[in-house]
Chains A and B, each alone.
Chain A
Amino acid sequence: MTPAIYALLFVLLAPVFGGLLAGIDRIVSARMQGRVGPPLLQPFYDVGKLLQKRTRQINPIAEPLLIAHLGYMAATGALLLGGTDLIFTVFVYALAALLLVLAAGSANSPFSFAGAERELVVLLASEPFFILMMVAVCKVTAASTFGGVLASSQLVAVQLPGVLLAFVVVATIKLRKSPFDISISHHPHQELVSGLTSDMSGRLLAYVELAHWYESALLCAFMVLLFNWSVPLGLLAFAVAYALEVLVDNATSRIKWQLVLRSTWAATLLLCGGNLLALFVMGR
């Protein structure tokens, strides 16, 4: 199969993957809390319902921004699997994330604005990691594309233990899990109401949810980069990491943005930066 077909498959199948993952997440979380939980396909029913509901527009520019957010999130995964340069892919990913911030900020309302600002902070917190991770993967495998990394004989994770640990920390932000879920929340009783999405309704909210599914699949693909010997191995690693995230999510409460920024930067600098330094010093 050519990379273009992988790209197409990502665009088609990533929402299925992300939606199922969200369904499993909800069941597992419910069991941890001693509840039965919703059916597995509940996230799909939710999005279906959102698409049918009336949409209130606070600011008409939010819709094109959110469609672009969804589009670029899908494009990031398509570019990644389609064989575009890994570092470039990360820039597109950041653009996609920024568009959600802008859509929320455009409502100019207290909760959306606070959510947008906090999302900008977590974007600042997580972005250095993704650039460094891709650089490290390129350095280890001497490849610059997804296919190249998978074809490499080096097992990336063995040489990048620091990056792997930092990934687990930073993925908490991107998967919107506690203690780093400061910009958005699925629990409406929290201080931020629902942050970023406070002023989004109907299909606008459906775009955000779909984009998040793409993002989950994208993070899974990033994990496969680290366990490049086989795709099932990468999927397994992602499953383990995700289970850990769900556990942490249920065991911790959200922290202030200052601590999110400090802890993520510290993890990136020490774990990821240290690992990268070792790679450069050893001349690989």
Chain B
Amino acid sequence: MSLPSIVFALVALPAIVGAILSLFTQATLRNAIVVIGGLLVAAMAVATVATFGGADGAFFGLPGNMALGQTLIVVDFGLTAFVVAISLKHRRVLAPILALAQFAIALYLEVAGRLPEPDPQRLFWVDRLSMVMILVIGLIGPLICINAIGYMRAYHRSSPMIQGRRTVFFSLLFVFLAAMFGLVVSNYLPLMLVFWEITTICSFLLIGYTRTDETIGYAFRALNMNLLGGLGFGVAIVLLSSQTGGLDLAILTHGPAAGALLPAIALLAFAGITKSAQMPFSSWLIGAMYAPSPTSALLHSSTMVKAGVFLLLRLSPAMSGSTVGYLVAFVGLLTFLFVSLVAVTEQNTKKVLAYSTIGSLGLIVGCAGIGTPELAWVGVMIIIFHALAKSLLFLVIGTIEQRLYTKNMENLDALLSLMPRVSALFLIGISGMFIAPFGIAIAKWTAIRAFLSVPGPAGAAMILIMAFGSSLTIFYWGKLLIKILSARRQTDYERSIENRVSRYEWLTEGALALGVIAATACVGLISNQVVGPYALTAFAAAPRVFLAIDPAILLVMLSATLLLPFVAVLSWLNPTYDHSDFYASGRSANVGHVMGAALGGIKRVTLRNYYLDGVVSGGLMFRTGTVACGAVLAAMVAASVVIR
């Protein structure tokens, strides 16, 4: 198959699977379709990348040189009508206003004939970044869908009052993947906007899955914020429609933007910032934590927020060296700092993971804003490692939550003795997120090196943010690790908990864990063959080596990645190890975690992590970050207008 046809097939396949899924309500049949459909999507993603090979990039149009014509406006109308209808049903005002405003823009452009006819051969653009995204979406997404079979079964068993709508749920997961594929291969901006809005609506529906007042509130928050971003995208299209080639993403971003293009770039960056849940728009992703865990896994790893940073990385060469770019970078870096401060005060494990996602995305935004080949390299490396590790972590925490009935970090006490195999997967995910060498730690290292050459106070500020932000991540991951690794003798009941994990979960989480290890082992290959060439092409830069792996670093760091999983396996091989009593000031303590009290009797020992009470206030940090980033964001948009 030729490249264009295989790309179309890739976008269409999950959409078709989604459509088929919406027709079947019978569980066994649905599960089979999810598994087969998921595997087909993964195979198609691999086939697409294989067909693309090592090219720099390719442009193409619709089959048979078909024109887009009025198709986009019809789809836009459908999406707007849907938002208006569902908002009326739930009596919400803001969402329909935002959706109608955006539709009005589209209609105006269409009716006034201001939308220049696009080059039919340049509607789509695939390059190495698209291929990275296709692999991230196409390999991780289906695993999450398959995992959801086991998770949702346990979820509905433990929450019987929630009305099951799994037909819609699974259908939406696949439609989401289709929209993401469409988004990462689009070159014509109005086309990309349509896919952008489909992802917004899919995430809205997934967040509101349980239809309780609480989740409906969070779903509308996500919808409002992302529609606002979409509106920014729409206004950017209006501004660009009068420029020659302005709506062609590849032409728009082939070098530093100036003059009239800057405000449009700023608005597109604004859209990217809303979608990647940067402050002041972080609250929608935190609210999304109340949705079933596979939804979180999907939103955090391979879809939605990754669309935001994908767009920002695309814009990176255009923002390079401009004030707009620096301000975008500061939105990301300040977000990283403030959410890390919030994360150290948070007990809900899913929320800690969410803040960590927002922080990692903040680093990517920071890299994209400054716009150098090195930092674009860092951004893409973080996308890859974060997607693998975070999807694994969310799926594992979902598995734990459905078996231990808790999301609280404090209740994960002695997880290693309770669920040793699940813990091993958990530890691989955490290693991939922050201990692992070639993932985020190498990226942070390279980022600090690159910020060293940013001149003036901006450079110093960026380095200060990195130093404090990185240290905070050690603190919250460290706390979580202490809880997981601590030991306690288990009862027979506790020993049986792990047997209730479904095979769908074992297989998918195991596959993702292998993926983390494989990506770590192949980091040189990923850097030299894919991410490095992408950064050089995007910035038309002279060849250079981004990651020189010294054998000493390789040895130290590979051992670091394998250390915690090794420790987990060790504990798993010794499940009935008879733990000695710990020291308790000479009083008898025993492994059931009770100790003799001073005046006789026994007391239960409870150990609670530090949350820096009295030193760091999570709420205050969240509000401060929101205000600070909001101000920087406003300055960014204002600067784009003033500087022209």
Across the interface, B471 reaches (CB within 8 A) one of A109, A127, A198, namely A127
Q: Mark A95-110, 1 if CB is under 8 A from B, else 0.
A: 1001101100111111
Q: How far is the CA of A276 from the CA of B581 in the complex (A)?
A: 49
Partner-B contacts on A (CB < 8 A): 7, 56-61, 64-65, 68, 72, 75, 78-79, 82, 84-85, 87-88, 91-92, 94-95, 98-99, 101-102, 105-113, 116-118, 120-121, 123-124, 127-129, 131-132, 135, 138-139, 144, 193, 198-199, 257-258, 261-262, 265, 269, 273, 276-277, 279-281, 283
Question: Could you tell me if B552 and A61 are in contact, using CB atoms closer than 8 angstroms?
Answer: no
Main secondary structure of the interface of B (DSSP, over half): helix
A residues near B511, Cβ cutoff 8 Å = none
Are A94 and B570 interface neighbours, CB within 8 A? Answer: no
Residues in A whose Cβ lies below 8 Å from that of B584: 109-111
- Does any Cβ of A come within 8 Å of B64's Cβ? no
What's the interface size class on B, roughly? 35 or more
Cβ of B474 within 8 Å of any chain A Cβ, yes or no, is yes
Residue numbers in A under 8 Å from B344 (CB-CB): 124
CA distance A128 to B486 in the complex (A): 27
B482 within 8 A of partner (CB): yes
Q: Which residues of A contact B585 (CB under 8 A)?
A: 111, 193
Question: B111 within 8 Å of A by Cβ?
Answer: no
A59 in contact with B464 (CB, 8 Å): no
Given contacts A117-B610, A258-B614, contact A108 B582 (CB under 8 A): yes
Q: Which residues of chain A are within 8 angstroms of B566 by Cβ–Cβ distance?
A: 64
- Could you list 10 examples of A-B contacts with CB < 8 Å? A59-B485, A60-B574, A61-B416, A64-B567, A84-B553, A92-B556, A105-B485, A108-B487, A128-B471, A199-B582
Task: Taking A60-B577, A135-B452 as given, write out 12 further A-B residue pairs in contact, using a Cβ cutoff of 8 Å, ordered by the A residue number.
Answer: A61-B485, A61-B567, A61-B571, A64-B566, A72-B560, A82-B552, A98-B481, A101-B482, A108-B488, A111-B583, A193-B585, A276-B463
User: Which residues on the A side are within 8 Å of B552 (C-beta)?
Assistant: 7, 78-79, 82, 84
Task: For B97, list chain A residues within 8 Å (CB).
Answer: none
Verify A120–B479 contact, CB threshold 8 A.
yes
Residues on the A chain within 8 Å of B593, using CB: 108
A280 & B456 in contact (Cβ 8 Å cutoff): yes
Q: Are B474 and A65 in contact (CB-based, < 8 A)?
A: no
B607 within 8 A of A: yes
Query: A131-B467, A280-B456 known; A88 and B445 CB under 8 Å?
Result: yes
Query: How far is A91 from B614 in the complex, measured between Cα atoms in Å?
Result: 28
Does B457 count as interface, using CB distance less than 8 angstroms? Answer: yes
Kindly state the separation between the CA atoms of A179 and B336 in the bound complex, as whole angstroms. Answer: 31
In angstroms, Cα B589 to Cα A199, docked, is: 12
Interface residues of B in 584-634 (CB under 8 A from A): 584-585, 589, 593, 595, 605, 607, 609-610, 612, 614-615
Nearest Cβ in chain B — how far from A259, in angstroms?
9
- Residues in chain A near residue B460, CB distance under 8 A: 273, 276-277, 279-281
Assess A87 versus B441: contact at CB under 8 Å? Given A101-B482, A110-B607.
no
How far is B414's CA from A224's CA once the two chains are assembled, in angstroms? 43
CB distance from A155 to the nearest CB of B (A): 20
* Cα separation A279 to B454 with both chains bound (whole Å): 12
> B38 to chain A: closest CB distance in Å?
36
Using an 8 Å CB-CB cutoff, how does the interface string of B248-264 with A read, 1 for contact, 0 for none? 00000000000000000
Partner of B445, one of A78, A85, A129, A257: A85
Contact across chains for B583 and A105 when beta carbons are under 8 A apart: no
What 7 A-B pairs are tightest by C-beta distance, nearest first?
A: A109-B582, A105-B482, A108-B486, A127-B471, A59-B487, A280-B460, A131-B467
A108-B582, A199-B583, A273-B464 are contacts. A61–B471 as well, Cβ < 8 Å? no
Asked whether B482 lies within 8 Å of A116 as measured between CB atoms, the reply is: yes
